[in-house]
Structure formats: C-alpha cells, structure tokens
Structure 1
C-alpha cells in the first residue's frame, strides 16, 4: 500500500520545523475527526482537514468557510497530513514550507455523506464551524467549497456614512450624548471579511488590520486623519460584527462592541469618547487645533446620511 504521507514528508525537514513528521506510514484506521487551522503564512488562509483512512485529507481555503449558500469559496487541495496535526499549533520557521503562525480555529467531528475523487459531502460538528458542506472539483485541479444549509447572517449595511448636523453650541442635555473629537480627516468605512478588506486597495497598510480579524466579519466606521505627520485611521463606530448588523442598536451598545475589539496598532486606533463631558472635550479640541467636536446621542441608531442625532460643534 502506498504511503499517504510520502508527499508530506518530502516537503518538510523534521530538524527545522516543529510540525509532526512521523517516520512510519499511517495506519488504515478510519475516524471522523476534523480540524480547521488559521494559518498566517505568505497570505492568510484556513486549512480544513478531515480524518480519512489514517490521515488528514486537507484543503487550504483562502477566505475560510462560506457563511451562506450564496457564495462558494476556493479550496486548494493540498497533501495529506498526519493525524498528529489535529492538535498542532505554533510557529513554522520563515523559509520553511508553510512558514508562519498556525493556530487551531476549530476542531470536532464530522459525518460523511459522500466521498469520491470529485466530490466530498460532509456535516461539520464543531464549536465554531457547523453545518452541511460540499467540496467539489472543478475543471482541472481546482476545488470549491459550498455551504449546503442556510445560516442566519445579516447582510452588510450599505456603505453610506452617518453625517453630523452642524450647530453652534453643545446640546443642553449633555448627559444624553457622548462627546468626541472631530478629526478633520477623510471618512472611511472599512468592511472586513475573510481576513481581507477592500479598503486596502487604497490603503495597503490596512491589510494587517484585516488579517488580525481572522474569520470574523466586521464593518468599521472612522476617518483617516493626519496625526504627528502620519496617516492614522481613527475608528469611532462599529456597524457590523461577526454576521450581525448593529445599525439598529443604540450608539452606546455599538461603542461598547467597538471598544471590546481593542483596536490599537501603529496605523489605527479607537477614538476616545467622553459621555456627558462637552466643555472639557471642546476645550481640548481647541488646544489641539482640531476643527471641533461631535456630540452623539447615546440612544441613537446608525442613520446613513445627515442626522440630527450627531451634532458637529466647531471649536
């Protein structure tokens, strides 16, 4: 019987990589375990591995598992991996095959509905990944993965930002508002899906931000401002989080969800916000040469276009 791990071993040097490199051929035992690993290599992708005949049959999925039946994702069939890979995580050295950081995204069991050279139908039962999927071979050597069951997922909100209405003075009921700096930058909505964002076409430095989200979907609202001579993306709202639209949630809830993401990098940060503190924030804006402040009603939903729930007050 052919050694199913021969190709796997040929790509790896056990003295140079922490990956498991078993010397003996795999047994023919058959189980039903699976693992999905998040792999930050030359490009972010997810490795789906299904136990079959003593090995883990593997596909690299650049955008992760599809969330609904409307979209198929590319799945690159790779070499079979040893069973020890079910629990492998760590840093594969740079320069080695697959060099980069690998973490376990999910693990569990699966049920096989069909397995052929051209089509694999299965049901995943994991903590994060569950449902019916099919891997199917297209022309040539390419494969795709399709989700066969529906999953409730809100669509991304339209890419139209909420805009403040200008007024000369802060509102009288300051306790109903959060007060933030008006940065004087350029507004930018950042959709993130599959560790990627279309905003990186114009701002390539946002690729790192998108990768840090892994498979988590999001849409962030902010603006690109020049601070200390460098362009910084300042975030102040979260419109979509992990399959759920937040536009109908009150601002206080969206703000709490944004802060929970703990976004802090060399080129992006979460804007500070001060509920009920109009005077000190406006004074600080004047001292820093900023154009003004924005008052945001804590109970307001996200309304694309001009809104009286957000107020721009000049310095």
Structure 2
C-alpha cells in the first residue's frame, strides 16, 4: 500500500499552560533523540524518515522487527529514536554514534549491538485505511494504544491529562529534559510548528547555525576558542552572539575538523559583523546552546555549548 508522506508536527517553545487551562492539555515526557516518522505498509517492512524527510532506516537495523511485530497493520506513526543511559534517561550523545550510518549498514549493525536504539512512539497519523491527522489528540492516542506497541526496542509512553505543574516537577526531579504539552482537542498539523504543542524545557536552549569561529589561545591556537552563532530569520542568518564554553577536549577537536572542512572567505551573517580574527565558515553546521536570557537586541546571554545537531540542517530552522 502506498502510504502518504507526512512531515512531523513541531512544538513551539514556551511555558506551561495556565492553571485555568491545565485540564485541557496532555503532558508527555520530552525525549532527547532523533525525530522520526515511521511508515508501516503492512507487509512486515518498516521505513524510517528523519525530520528532514531523509530515509534513515538502514541506520537502525534493531528497529526493523517492528514491521513484523505489527503484521498486516498499515500505519504511519510519529516518534523519537533514543539511546538510553545507565539509569534509563535518553542520552543524545550516545545516540550520535548511531546517527548518519544509513549509508554504512555493516557499521550500523555493529553499533546496534553496543548502543541499542529505542523507538518512543507518541502519535498515530494514519491507521488501517485512512488518515488520523484531522482527529483530536485523544482519539489519535487511543488508536495508538490499540496497537499495543511494547517491546525491547519500542514503547508507547503514557501521558497525563492536566497536572502540568506536578508533571514538570517530576521530570525535573528525574533529571529529564522537560515536557511536551499537547492540547487534547488538537489535530495533527504536518510540518507546522504549532502552538497546540508546547515544549517546556528546564533550561533555555536554542538551535543555532555556526557561521565562524575564533582560535583559542596558546596550545589551543589551531582549535576553536569560540564559535560565532546565528539564527535564520526571513531567509538570512543573523548573528546572535558567541559561545566559548561547554565542550570537552574531544568535542573541541571534532568541531575543529568540521570547521576546517567548511572554511569560507565570506562572512555569512546579514548584516555582516566585524569580529577581529574571525574565521568564517559555510553556514551548514547546526548546534544547540543553553543560555540564561536574551538581550533586547536578541543576543544570547551566558551561552554554553550543549551539543552538535547532525540531525538538523539550517533549512530545518527556518
């Protein structure tokens, strides 16, 4: 069966809904992994597509048995691929060793034995003979629950309706990243960053594009001492500050190799910024930073590097 191609719905960063509206929202744990839309045509096969639409099936051979587990059920599901740490929290750094291996199936199979992937399924977009995107969240979740998706490599975590403050405190106490709040009556909006879904993180974070770097001092002269960061706005890359903390020595060396490969003679920011000693790069590396607040001009205050985001492209941030 030819299944419809469906782009994932995206959440808007924000705060908990008000106490007066709390009972109209569902709350799910926010996982730290690679977003995927799962296509199950009912013939025992499975196709995984990333947020950008790329076929990443071959990178995760440990998820292939999901097709056989659902048998003849035809479905399109939304979820997150994660790798758990020793205490059961999703760990993006562990998952990075699994990402980008769609073109290297032998290596993907080896990595699956040492860093197993787990698919967290949280929405049903198509089931049986028809789409569910126009159905409210509660109906889609009921349809998803009917599939009984529990196994070593996949699960359907529960949600709670209301009690957002308690849910947020529980995730904070467990050391989790935060919550996703979803309006109970909301439909699924493919490819839209919707206010019907709100992501509430315990830290303020931003996805950024690297536009340049400054060399470190002394023994770090050939390595980045700071990265020049930008955000895409109206098709342009606007400079929003620099970050020089938050990475390990290994991460610094890995970033240096990526920056050298992307070297450019031109400043990618609009308007251009004058930064003495800056080395410009093609704006294709995406990262995530944590920060305290923003200035009125939109610059990040006290940013700290969180991680590289190889699962995203600058176009995904538009």
TM-score by length of 2: 0.49
Higher RCO structure (Cα 8 Å, ≥6 apart): 2
> Which has the larger share of helix?
2
> Which has the larger share of strand?
1
